Amino acid sequence: MRLTVACIQNSAQSEIVPNLEETATLTRQAASEGAQFVCLPEYFSCLDVIGNMLLAHPLPEDEHPALPLFTGLARDLKIQVLLGSLAIDTGGEKFVNRSFMISDTGEITARYDKIHLFDVDLPGGESYRESASVAPGDQAVLAPTPWGPLGMSICYDLRFPRLYRALAQAGAGMLTVPAAFTKTTGEAHWHVLMRARAIENGCFVFAPSQYGVHASGSACFGHSLIVDPWGRVLDDAGEEAGYALAECDLDEVGKARGMIASLQHDRDFAAPEIAAPPLQAVGAE
């Protein structure tokens, strides 16, 4: 079975409408080149960082303009669409970072709220506190697709392999990792982590990402990727607006898992005991 996938790459700014217009145009272009499944980045409709605080303009789900726009596009273009994530106001003190899977009939078939939140302090004073404004999810999600189950995740989730193992064990042969990866961490870890998640789970990985500098000066890495289950990069969108596009032979999932059947070899084990602190030397402070 073959599937043509596009991973859209944009540089969202603080105004929603221009971001939606650009990503809708890119979605149409990708569909015109044969994409059957189009994936958009994390916070593709609005993103900026002020200080270490995230600016993503949360709205209630039934009021967010991205949803009617892209459910309509999915239906009109007869494609499946992943909305990498939107900031959704659920009525609490914090919003959720939510990914949506949309069928080719325009129906929302799955929702996933980001579990792992990006709270980090990087060299040079670069600091982020996603948990200051975002409430974490607590449920792993498989989305139904015509090509089999798809495991959903968002950005910083990438660093937590246990999530992807659970998705693969539950039947996922494809994983989505929409992101707005920082340029600092992306240059160091983006490609190797995406390839690792593909290899260790025998899955295709579809990773649409933002690129470029936002109004506040924060920068995203770009390099939207499509990776096959053997860890080969099928396409890389570089560092400008556009998309990665590749035809994926989904039979490669079974082939990779047949050669290295690690999903069948997981074993339970006891966690290590926590070591006692070392004895303090006599006379030490």
Catalytic residues: 42, 114, 155
Collapsing DSSP to helix, strand or coil, 171 comes out as coil
Instruction: Answer yes or no: are the C-beta atoms of 178 and 203 closer than 8 Å.
Output: no
Write the CB contacts of 247 (distance below 8 Å, at least 6 apart in sequence). 2, 3, 4, 34
Q: Using CA atoms, how far apart are residues 16 and 181, in angstroms rounded to an integer?
A: 20
C-alpha R_g of the chain: 19
Cα–Cα dist 209/70, whole Å = 18
Task: Report how far residue 223's alpha carbon sits from residue 237's, in angstroms, rounded to the nearest whole number.
Answer: 5
Cα separation, 13 vs 45, in Å, equals 8
Closest CA to 143 of 83, 71, 70: 83
Segments in the chain forming alpha helices (H): 16-32, 66-77, 161-169, 183-201, 251-259
Residue with token string 């660093």: 159
Contacts of 256 (CB under 8 A, 6+ apart): 202, 228, 229, 230
Measured between alpha carbons, how far is 227 from 132 in angstroms, rounded to an integer? 32
